[in-house]
């Protein structure tokens, strides 16, 4: 059971738009190869964008609802021909359904930070990549973005009961930073070509962000769901107030966010 069980719909309307902020960079650093493997495709933004560029794409995710959401999005795009270049399978690392050295490009957008064994995951990405094929990975840095920092503050002020930590045991964990991600890539025998911080502005309607959290997405979603109705209502009221300074003239929230990007390849 993954932490994304049953949240695909809520994810698509909220945090998927956040994660999509890295898609242009991930496409740029993985020029079309023989086969583009997108690991942990979620609701499919990156896989579809790669297919739209004419790439042959295999998107995989261990969560059945995420696979269904990506397939549905691909089906809607068949008329525009992007869908036909995209296959979607229910699978995950470290059991990726590809032979060794078979992928011309590999992406894992905000996935290595969600798996039970990050090193085994990166080793499997390395296994399926062809020699010198780009393997592009992103993770969130340790410090929460402003949207989640506000949620944490609102939860504490509302007296929310804590939920069990989703942190990995120290032997399996790694520093959630560009350097931390680069070091587990090196441990997997990869050469690191780029290791940098990506910065962008995420624009999202407050109702969509709240729907993602109330729908159970991520640590904030798990915490929110564990509260009584009264505490949930108080958190929502408080967090909307804390988000208010981020509202722009069109009514959407605009958050400055950052991610760690590592692009590596096998020698």
Ligand X SMILES: C[S@@+](CC[C@H](N)C(=O)[O-])C[C@H]1O[C@@H](n2cnc3c(N)ncnc32)[C@H](O)[C@@H]1O
Residue numbers of the site for ligand X (CB under 6 A)?
A: 2, 4, 16, 19, 39-42, 45-46, 61-63, 66, 92-93, 109-111, 114-115, 121
Cβ closest to ligand X, residue 3 vs residue 177: 3
- Give the Cα separation of 115 and 184 in Å (integer): 14
Calculate the CA 132 to chain-centre distance.
Answer: 24
- Give the Cα separation of 129 and 60 in Å (integer): 15
- Give the Cα separation of 157 and 123 in Å (integer): 42
Single out the residue of 101, 132, 262, 127 nearest to residue 194, CA to CA.
262
Q: Which residue is nearest to ligand X (CB)?
A: 42
Q: How far is the CB of 81 from ligand X (least distance, A)?
A: 22
Q: How far is the CB of 79 from ligand X (least distance, A)?
A: 23
Cβ closest to ligand X, residue 41 vs residue 158: 41
- Give the Cα separation of 261 and 218 in Å (integer): 20
Q: How far is the CB of 146 from ligand X (least distance, A)?
A: 18
- Give the Cα separation of 33 and 136 in Å (integer): 13
Q: How far is the CB of 237 from ligand X (least distance, A)?
A: 27
Cβ closest to ligand X, residue 86 vs residue 158: 86
């Amino acid at each position: 059971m993954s932490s994304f069980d049953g949240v695909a719909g809520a994810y698509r309307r909220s945090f998927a738009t956040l994660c999509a902020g890295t898609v242009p960079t991930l496409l740029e650093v993985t020029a079309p190869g023989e086969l583009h493997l997108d690991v942990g495709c979620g609701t499919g933004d990156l896989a579809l964008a790669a297919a739209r560029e004419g790439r042959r794409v295999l998107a995989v995710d261990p969560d059945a609802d995420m696979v269904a959401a990506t397939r549905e999005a691909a089906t809607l795009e068949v008329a525009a021909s992007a869908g036909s270049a995209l296959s979607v399978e229910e699978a995950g690392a470290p059991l990726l359904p590809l032979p060794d050295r078979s992928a011309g490009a590999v992406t894992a957008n905000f996935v290595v930070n969600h798996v039970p064994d990050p090193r085994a995951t990166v080793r499997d990405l390395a296994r399926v990549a062809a020699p010198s094929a780009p393997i592009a990975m992103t993770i969130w840095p340790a410090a929460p973005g402003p949207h989640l920092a506000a949620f944490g503050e609102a939860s504490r002020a509302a007296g929310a009961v804590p939920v069990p930590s989703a942190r990995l045991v120290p032997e399996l964990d790694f520093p959630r930073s560009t350097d931390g991600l680069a070091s587990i890539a090196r441990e997997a025998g990869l050469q690191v070509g780029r290791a940098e911080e990506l910065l962008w502005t995420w624009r999202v309607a407050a109702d969509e962000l709240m729907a993602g959290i109330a729908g159970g997405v991520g640590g904030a979603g798990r915490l929110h769901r564990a509260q009584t109705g009264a505490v949930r209502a108080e958190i929502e009221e408080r967090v909307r107030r804390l988000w208010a300074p981020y509202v722009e003239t069109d009514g959407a929230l605009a958050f400055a966010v950052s991610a760690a990007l590592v692009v590596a390849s096998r020698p």
